[in-house]
Structure 1
């Protein structure tokens, strides 16, 4: 973390705080927002941080409590209890396991594009559809297309049923044409009929 305004002179030029590493945590190379610490008993504590949202998890309950205390000394934090919502993903626990979905994210996206009242379709893409590249003069609303496809890419984390169709439309991010938009709208109409679909991680 960089020093806050007003601390630069006393902090020293070019220095940064490595708070989480200072507590003995290792930064994951697979995801730089994740830090972990293994105990001698083979247990693990994991911290995931995204701007000012933090998730703590793992089976090392003592370390997790210690970490919460250390973070509370450095920052004003609030423990929200068991994870329910994080970065557009909803988490529900039951005896069966943990169910993850993005229903609110789907409904917000449909509302944003004016399709909350659209008629759903049963498949995310028409069979045997072949999308063609665009000639430079026919490119339409590239920024809008990129935003919508980007939102769909994020949705495919909990909706593997749209992964294939999203991979198809994402090939035309640099130069979309009307039929590419139509395929995106088809995916959105499919999502209208399946907003609560998600993944179950069994106990």
Structure 2
């Protein structure tokens, strides 16, 4: 079908024209695309080879919230982070912009200071 496996993940395939990306996790497939026509073509080819059902738009995948915008997609792990904070008892912590004064300039220590 013109896809090749990417080097960084054995479950991600990119089309030779780089306009369609397929990500597979167990029995879930996400198809990322620039043009609906290309996605439809790939989807039809997959359907000819495999039994599948299709949802219109994915909003969640592997615990990641997929937020669709006019210019692309935002991937959010806000829910996951909230669960981690609750699990370790940090959900009531007070956020701080930075733990030190912004005007402090750190310098590399000397050899004497290492000992």
TM-score with structure 2 setting the length:
0.64
Paired residue for 1:115?
A: 89
Of 83, 90, 104, which aligns to 2:58?
Answer: 83
- Distance across 2 between alignment mates of 1:67 and 1:95: 23
1:110-146 Cα offsets, whole Å, 9 max, x none, are: 45x2638x4223249966xxxxxxxxxxxxxxxxxxx
Taking a change above 3 Å as real, the CA distance of residues 36 and 103 of structure 1, as seen in their structure-2 partners, is same
1:80/1:109 CA distance change after superposition, 3 Å: farther
Instruction: Report what 2:5 is aligned to.
Output: 27
Which residue pairs with 1:36 in the alignment? Answer: 14
Q: What CA deviation, in whole Å up to 9, does each residue of 1:135-192 have, x standing for no partner?
A: xxxxxxxxxxxxxxxxxxxxxxxxxxxxxxxxxxxxxxxxxxxxxxxxxxxxxxxxxx
Asked if 1:68 is matched to 2:43, the reply is yes
Partner residue in 1 for 2:107: none
User: Contact conserved, 2:2 with 2:16, CA < 8 A, in 1?
Assistant: no
The secondary structure found in structure 1 opposite 2:10 is coil
State the aligned residue count: 100
Q: Gapped runs of 5+ residues in structure 2?
A: 101-115
Please give the TM-score of this superposition, normalised by the length of structure 1.
0.40
Residue in structure 1 matched with residue 29 of structure 2 by the alignment? 54
Q: Is the 8 A contact 2:4 2:16 kept in 1?
A: no
Higher helix share: 1
Structure 1, unaligned stretches of length 5 or more? 1-22, 128-203
Name whichever structure is richer in strand by fraction: 2
Larger RCO (alpha carbons 8 Å, 6+ apart): 1
User: Is the contact between residue 65 and residue 77 of structure 2 (CA under 8 Å) also seen in structure 1?
Assistant: yes
